[in-house]
């Protein structure tokens, strides 16, 4: 049998052999193989389970150490982190924000929470993240500068920010995107929800602009159960983000004085203690995930399915291993077979402009995004401790 003729049955057999189980295999389940329990128990014993816990500061420091970000602000999840990051970027009601249509719905939702409208541009075929070329074409042809700000010539609205996303942990063309944003006075807010442990050269994703956000949802590379982290390189913004994520309360021994509309978005200590244990084990998790990706790569090499790998000069965290089918029909046949047979596999997201709440948003045609939407599949990718 040639590799080219590999069937869905063959692929599932390989996945089962790799995960060494005949039971249900999830797409990405958390694995607590480090000292997570010790830190969670320590947090419980301290009774400081809310955001005043020392673990909140500890995870912020740890994330700064891992990413090289100057500042990090821990919040309850990645979605609200993006919301606050957009507010910190100065996005206001009636503004527009550029992003990709091929992303998880949270990216679009966070833009919507600010009252701004998304503009959906195409992604790059190899990175699956926002295409620098598509951004350049849009900014050069469809926008103009007025008083140092970028305006959409068609809608007349200000384009305040751009939120590109590092899809499945594969770094996008962030250097070129960052340069374009600077040239056109658009604030870069990286959606790095999926990309802890992913780098361009030796620079961590999420540190290319002034603001970014990571997610620590239960399905991510490392988890807080639920959690997020805003990264910023600006001290004033970091201070403001801490302030408004804790109801904008002025510190005082007993008075309740809040100096602006605030949010109850701060991460709780209990979540932070779990996350701290996970972050302490991040190197092992990344190592095992890279090995798993290597096994998949070897298996799919020369087959009809393309296994997606990191681009040269970048390091992907291989959060979700990704294959591309030749056709929509082949993709569907595989997804149906895998999910009916206890191996959880998922297609990439529906393009956001096809969802009812974003149907009127401006797009650039989204040719590449549509091709990827029809053919991309994620396969089981959990941390296998035995691979460390
Ligand atoms: C691309 C992207 N953006 C934002 C989020 C939102 O993160 P959270 O689930 O922590 O709110 C996620 C993950 O869920 C994501 O994958």
Residues 313 and 242 in one domain: no
* CA neighbor of 137 nearest in space, from 155, 113, 119: 119
Contact 97, 158 (CB under 8 A): no
Residues 334 and 226 in one domain: no
Can you tell me the mean pLDDT for 38-60? 97
Is the CB–ligand 1 distance for residue 194 below 6 Å? yes
Angle, CA 249 vertex, CA 246 and CA 255 arms, to 5°: 140
Residues 220 and 131 in one domain: yes
Bridge pairing between strands 362-363 and 117-121: parallel
CATH number of the domain residue 10 falls in? 3.90.1150.10
| Burial letters 27-44, b for 16+ CB under 10 A, else e | bbebbebbebeebbebbe
Residue 301, classed as helix, strand or coil, is coil
Task: Note the pLDDT of residue 2.
Answer: 65
Residues 170 and 261 in one domain: yes
Can you tell me the mean pLDDT for 260-287? 98
Bridge pairing between strands 199-200 and 314-315: antiparallel
Please say which residue of 280, 311, 333 terminates a domain: 280
Q: How close is the Cα of 105 to the center of ligand 1, in Å?
A: 8
Strand arrangement, sheet containing 314-315: 203-204, 199-200, 314-315
Mean pLDDT over each residue of the chain, to the nearest integer: 97
Can you tell me the mean pLDDT for 86-100? 98
Residues 204 and 97 in one domain: yes
Closest ligand 1 atom to residue 228 Cα is 10
Is the CB–ligand 1 distance for residue 190 below 6 Å? no
Task: Give the number of domains in the chain.
Answer: 2
Residues 214 and 316 in one domain: no
Can you tell me the mean pLDDT for 5-27? 96
Residues 339 and 268 in one domain: no
Atom 10 in ligand 1: residue holding the nearest Cα? 78
Residues 128 and 220 in one domain: yes
Residue 360, classed as helix, strand or coil, is coil
Beta bridge partners, 71, equal: 232
Q: Is the pLDDT confidence value at 3 over 90?
A: no
Closest ligand 1 atom to residue 216 Cα is 10
* CA neighbor of 212 nearest in space, from 111, 369, 89: 89
Q: Is the pLDDT confidence value at 1 over 70?
A: no
Task: Note the pLDDT of residue 321.
Answer: 98
Closest ligand 1 atom to residue 215 Cα is 10
Q: Is the pLDDT confidence value at 21 over 70?
A: yes
Closest ligand 1 atom to residue 79 Cα is 11
Q: What are phi and psi of 25, to 5 degrees?
A: -115, 115
What domain range is 178 assigned to?
Answer: 36-280
Q: Is the pLDDT confidence value at 295 over 90?
A: yes
Is the CB–ligand 1 distance for residue 76 below 6 Å? no
Cα 216 to Cα 272: distance, rounded to the nearest angstrom = 10
What percent of the chain is predicted at pLDDT more than 90? Answer: 98
Please say which residue of 230, 245, 280 terminates a domain: 280
363 CB-side CA count, 13 A: 19
Cα 78 to Cα 213: distance, rounded to the nearest angstrom = 6
DSSP state for residue 123 in the 8-state scheme: B
For residue 110, what are its two tokens? 């966070």
Is the CB–ligand 1 distance for residue 378 below 6 Å? no
Residues 341 and 226 in one domain: no
Q: What are phi and psi of 218, to 5 degrees?
A: -60, -20
Tokens 């996005």 belong to residue: 91
Task: Note the pLDDT of residue 5.
Answer: 73
Q: How close is the Cα of 193 to the center of ligand 1, in Å?
A: 5
* CA neighbor of 196 nearest in space, from 64, 54, 296: 64
pTM of the predicted model as reported, rounded to 2 decimal places: 0.98
For 184-214, what is each residue's pLDDT tens digit? 999 999 999 999 999 999 999 999 999 999 9
Task: Note the pLDDT of residue 6.
Answer: 85
Residues 150 and 43 in one domain: yes
Please say which residue of 280, 314, 333 terminates a domain: 280
For 130-189, what is each residue's pLDDT tens digit? 999 999 999 999 999 999 999 999 999 999 999 999 999 999 999 999 999 999 999 999
Residue 373, classed as helix, strand or coil, is helix
Q: How confident is the model at residue 303 (pLDDT cuts 50, 70, 90)?
A: very high
CATH number of the domain residue 147 falls in? 3.40.640.10
Residues 215 and 266 in one domain: yes
Residues 29 and 40 in one domain: no
Atom 8 in ligand 1: residue holding the nearest Cα? 78
């Amino acid at each position: 049998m040639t590799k080219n003729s590999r069937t869905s049955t063959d692929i599932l057999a390989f996945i089962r052999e790799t995960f060494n189980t005949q039971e249900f295999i999830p797409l990405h389940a958390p694995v607590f193989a480090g000292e997570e329990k010790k830190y969670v128990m320590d947090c419980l014993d301290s009774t400081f389970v809310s955001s005043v816990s020392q673990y909140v500061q500890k995870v912020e420091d740890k994330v700064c150490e891992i990413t090289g970000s100057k500042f990090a602000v821990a919040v309850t999840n990645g979605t609200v982190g993006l919301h606050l990051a957009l507010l910190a970027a100065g996005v206001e009601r009636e503004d527009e924000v550029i992003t990709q249509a091929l992303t998880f719905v949270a990216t679009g939702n966070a833009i919507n929470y600010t009252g701004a409208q998304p503009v959906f541009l195409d992604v790059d075929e190899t990175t699956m993240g926002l295409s620098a070329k598509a951004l350049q074409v849009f900014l050069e042809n469809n926008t103009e500068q007025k008083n140092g700000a970028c305006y959409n010539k068609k809608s007349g609205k200000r384009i305040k920010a751009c939120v590109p996303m590092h899809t499945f942990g594969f770094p996008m063309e962030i250097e070129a995107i960052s340069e374009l944003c600077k040239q056109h006075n658009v604030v870069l807010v990286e959606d790095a929800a999926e990309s802890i442990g992913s780098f361009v050269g030796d620079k961590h994703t999420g540190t290319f602009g002034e603001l970014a956000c990571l997610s620590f949802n239960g399905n991510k590379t490392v988890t807080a159960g639920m959690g997020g982290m805003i990264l910023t390189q600006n001290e004033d913004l970091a201070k403001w983000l801490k302030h408004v994520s804790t109801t904008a309360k002025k510190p005082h021994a007993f008075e309740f004085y809040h100096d602006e509309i605030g949010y109850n978005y701060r991460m709780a200590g209990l979540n932070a203690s779990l996350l701290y244990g996970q972050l302490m084990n991040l190197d092992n998790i990344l190592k095992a995930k890279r090995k798993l990706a290597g096994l998949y790569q070897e298996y799919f090499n020369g087959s009809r399915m393309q296994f997606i790998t990191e681009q040269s000069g970048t390091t992907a965290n291989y959060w979700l291993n990704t294959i591309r089918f030749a056709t929509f029909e082949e993709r569907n046949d595989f997804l149906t077979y895998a999910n009916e047979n206890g191996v959880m596999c998922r297609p990439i997201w529906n393009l956001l402009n096809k969802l009812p709440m974003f149907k009127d948003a401006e797009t650039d045609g989204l040719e590449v995004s549509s091709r990827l939407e029809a053919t991309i599949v994620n396969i089981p990718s959990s941390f296998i401790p035995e691979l460390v």
